[in-house]
Amino acid sequence: MGERRGSIAFFTSYRPPVPLDIFRCPVPASSKLDEVHLTDGLSYNYNGQTVPPEALKTIAKRLELEPQAVIEAGIDSGRLTGLVFVSERQHNLETLQIALHFHDDGEVKVFTLADIYGTELFDGARMEDSGCIAGGYELDGQTSDHYLVYVSTKEPVQERRSPWNIVYKTNLGTGETERLTPPGTFDISPSVSPSGKRVAVASYQGKNWGGEIKDLPTSIYVMSIETPSLDRERVIENGGWPSWGSETVIFFHRKVGENWGVFRYDLSTEETIRVTPEAFDAVTPAAIDETRVAVATIRQKSVFADVRVEAQYRHIEVFDMNCPEKPLQITQYSKPKGDHYNPFVMDSGKYIGYHRCQSDHLQHGDDVPRHFNKLQSPHEDVGLFRVAGAFPAFSKDGSKLAFVDNEFKAVWLADSDGMRIVFETDGPNGIFSPVWNQKKDILYVCIGPSFKPNEALEIYAIPHVSSGARERRLLTKGKFNNAFPSTNPEGTKLVFRSTRDGGDKKYKNLYIMDAEVGEDAGEVERLTEGDWIDTHCQWSPNRDWIVFSSNRDRPVDAPERDHGLDPGYFAVYLMNASDRSVVRVLRSGYDFSGHVNHPVFSPDGRSIAVTADLAAVSADPISLPIFFNSVRPYGDIFTVDIDQDDMEKNQDVESFARVTHSRYENSTPAWTVFSTHDPHAQWNLLVMEDNYTPACPYAHPDGGESWHMTGQICTPKRVC
């Protein structure tokens, strides 16, 4: 039976609240009317590249589009053009699609790679990216085949904190697919040379991912499309996002000091020249020729409190090395208060394509859809869906779903009485982490600012929450930082983490208190004791085990900060609440570095779901729709199976399964007994109908975008 073990829900950070779509503008641009929409407007669409005419003919033939002669004539005349791009329309996965644009009537037809080449090669949970076309060159007196070159995460990798990104080529005529990335190496951002013979990639070859957030430790390698393993060589140390200006010129981006810049490398002279000024950020180059390149610029940095001005938005500009002081502005005319991403060249530089949010229709105070999206799950017996709210939490019987909006301002509830707010605070960043009592109609929440260990954070109970009474009862006292409560199966005790007894460094340990009256029942029982952070605790649904995340095995010489952020060293542990015995279940890096957080039990107690950096990053983070001061743009949902009978057998489990494949950050999983298609769960209707649409107040009256890209929900600042 499908999804017999229930469903996992999760929240996605950094994904824009309004869908992305692909547009183009002429070079030079002059007015708002210059912008043309290139896709059909369905779902999220981004990272486009044009399909050359001869390659498009091969695709059309493979699709058996009729009449073939008319189709080819349309391609030759430019009345039928093609685009390869990433879309989330197929099972809500981030996969490649081919769009055919019939210019005579404006129709756009979109095909999945499975439509063209079958599900044997293009099926299952995965992420695909950076599609581009190679081949079409003279080879032994004949024209070579055309290939789709792209990134996929379809091959499992058991190495911890290792990317899954592999570059492949698929023959457009036969569908035959080969791996271009050598074994043991991981590549991103492929780019094909103008001749179609060579591919440049940003590669981790010879390096490990060490938790880098934006400035990845990649170098640029070049290889032959025909013999990649024989002709592969490193040409640029420390660089990303390569783009060919000619057979001997590659543009790329690199961070130098505080700012990003776009550079030009000449393969014949080995000379590197900075193209963009040092005064502002410039990323994701798209070369037009040897001297001209389109880039995304941010001319003035911003912080979350800013109401941004035009210079603080990401815009597309064209820089010419012959007159670098006079770049051509492309998107400032069409949408001055909007972010534009990842330019690509069309018609030899006559047009520049890019993607941005579909915010044209959004007016000040309008609603922004917050969908509950069902995703394809790698587990046949477990469903999977994205909740447009943080910290989803299911009641034990699976009939109720609670979550917090991404302002951390209100708690929402979906049950047999519909969708509604059951608790609301006065302002943002005031409430998070709801969780249900395992026996009673009580919802627990944490009230206070999140991720500020020096400030008070209290645990409240909301009794009779389904009735809408909006009562609340304070359970913790003493102005400590208390969070992440969870009850035992009987619903009588509550485990939580707290900074009480944590000293000046605010260490956190686990404690137990009464589940209904909290500290009023008497002394709180201390469960763990150490100079560490024990957190994200959850009691098992069917035994006296507690799962939690901790950095207790962090090496003594570990750095205080990692790339300016919390260094992590979080692993997942199991504790027997009766005898206090503890085993480490799952770590991220073999040296305990990294993050494995927010563990939750499956309803049957056989598995644990976590959010973790076990798969490193899946795309160049600086290309994503986030701000420069975001937290960590990586993280996916993973599961690990455990032995229910003998806790000691769960020590350092080696095998894990990747559940989600995303360029964003998937976090705070929850696991319910119901499947995504079970009619007995009211929240199931939300998954099917996508009808959750609270208002977003952050759209400017002048049409600009002011939300911060922390998730599907508009939020005035990053709080999670």
Q: Quote the pLDDT of residue 259.
A: 95
Name the one residue in this structure whose structure tokens are 């791009």: 85
Half-sphere exposure of 499 (CA within 13 A, CB side): 18
The model's confidence at residue 286, banded by pLDDT at 50, 70 and 90, is: very high
Q: Which residues contact 180 (CB under 8 A, 6 or more apart)?
A: 149, 167, 168, 169, 187, 190, 199, 201, 223, 225, 228
DSSP letter assigned to residue 181: S
Whether pLDDT at 450 is above 50:
yes
**If you average pLDDT over every residue of the chain, what do you get?**
89
Q: Which two tokens stand for residue 503?
A: 């000293």
Residue 320 pairs in a beta bridge with 292
Model confidence over 180-193: pLDDT tens digits?
A: 999 999 999 999 99
Q: Which two tokens stand for residue 232?
A: 């592969």
Contact between residue 708 and residue 627 where contact means Cβ atoms under 8 Å apart: yes
Average pLDDT over residues 229-239: 95
Question: Which three-class secondary structure state does DSSP give residue 69?
Answer: helix
Q: Quote the pLDDT of residue 88.
A: 95
The model's confidence at residue 629, banded by pLDDT at 50, 70 and 90, is: very low
The percentage of the chain sitting over the pLDDT mark of 70, rounded to a whole number, equals: 89
Report the alpha-carbon distance of residue 37 to residue 18 in Å, rounded: 16
Model confidence over 418-445: pLDDT tens digits?
A: 888 998 888 788 999 999 999 999 999 9
Contact between residue 635 and residue 611 where contact means Cβ atoms under 8 Å apart: yes
